[in-house]
Amino acid sequence: MFALGLLGCNQASDAQAQVRDHQAQGNLESRHTLGCITLAEAKNQYTPADLFSSAAACVQANKPEQVADLYILARSYGSFDAKRVSDQSAHQAVLVLQMQAFAGMSEEFNKQVSETLKTKTNDPAEHSRICRQIKQLGAPAYHPSYMLQHGMGAFLSDEGTSKALVENFNAETAWNEVLASSLRCSTEG
C-alpha cells in the first residue's frame, strides 16, 4: 500500500543557508477545518490538505486508528490529484502536507501508527473495510488548487494561478488505477 516514513518528517537540516520562501496564494491550502474525524465522517470534497490537517488533530488526540485511516485516504486522493495535475513540480504537495502534519509526532506514536497501518494493509478484514469505505466515498470531487498552487505553474502564470490540468483526463480510469495500484482494492462492485 503506502510506505510510512513519518519520523523522517521530524528531522531538520543543520545547514544554515539563506532560504527565501515564495508561496502562491492557495498553496497547500486547507479549505475545511475538520478536527479529528473518522473515515466514516470523511467526504470526497476534502482535499489531502484537509485530511492531513485532520490526521494531525488525531495525532494530538492520541488516536492512531484514525490517523492511519486518514493517512490512507489523503495519500489516495493525492495520488489521484497527481494523475490529473500536469505540472510535475506540483506533485510533491502531498509529501509536504504529510511532513507538516506529522512533524511533531513522537517516535512511540509513530510506531503505533506504523503498526496500525501494517494491520490495515495486511489483515483481510481491515483492508476490505478500508477499500469499501474509500470506494463508497468515491473519487475526489474538488478542484486540486492546493496542489496546482504548489507547483511552478502558479509562478509562471500571468494570473498567478496554475491551470495545469491534464487534457482529456478520464477521472473514472484514474480513480480505478488508484484503487487497484495504490490501495490494492478490487475495482469491481
Pairwise CA distance, residues 82 & 121, whole Å: 22
Q: pLDDT by residue for the chain (189 residues), tens digit each?
A: 454 555 455 444 455 666 554 454 555 677 889 999 999 999 999 999 999 999 999 999 999 999 999 999 999 999 999 999 988 888 888 998 999 899 989 999 999 999 999 999 999 999 999 999 999 999 999 999 888 876 665 555 555 455 688 889 999 999 999 999 989 998 775
CA dihedral 113→36→69→110, nearest 10 degrees, is: -10
Report long-range pairs for 58-64 (Cβ below 8 Å, ≥24 apart): 59/101, 59/102, 59/104, 59/105, 59/109, 60/36, 61/36, 62/109, 63/36, 64/109, 64/112, 64/113, 64/116
Q: What does the pLDDT look like over 41-57, one tens digit per residue? A: 999 999 999 999 999 99
Amino acid 24: pLDDT: 47
C-alpha grid cell for residue 100? 507538516
CA dihedral 94→96→97→100, nearest 10 degrees, is: 160
Whether the pTM exceeds 0.85: the reply is no
Amino acid 28: pLDDT: 63
Amino acid 7: pLDDT: 47
SS3 69: helix
Amino acid 31: pLDDT: 87
The phi, psi pair for 85, rounded to 5°, reads -100, 120
Pairwise CA distance, residues 158 & 28, whole Å: 20
Q: How remote is the C-alpha of 28 from its chain's centroid?
A: 11
Amino acid 60: pLDDT: 95
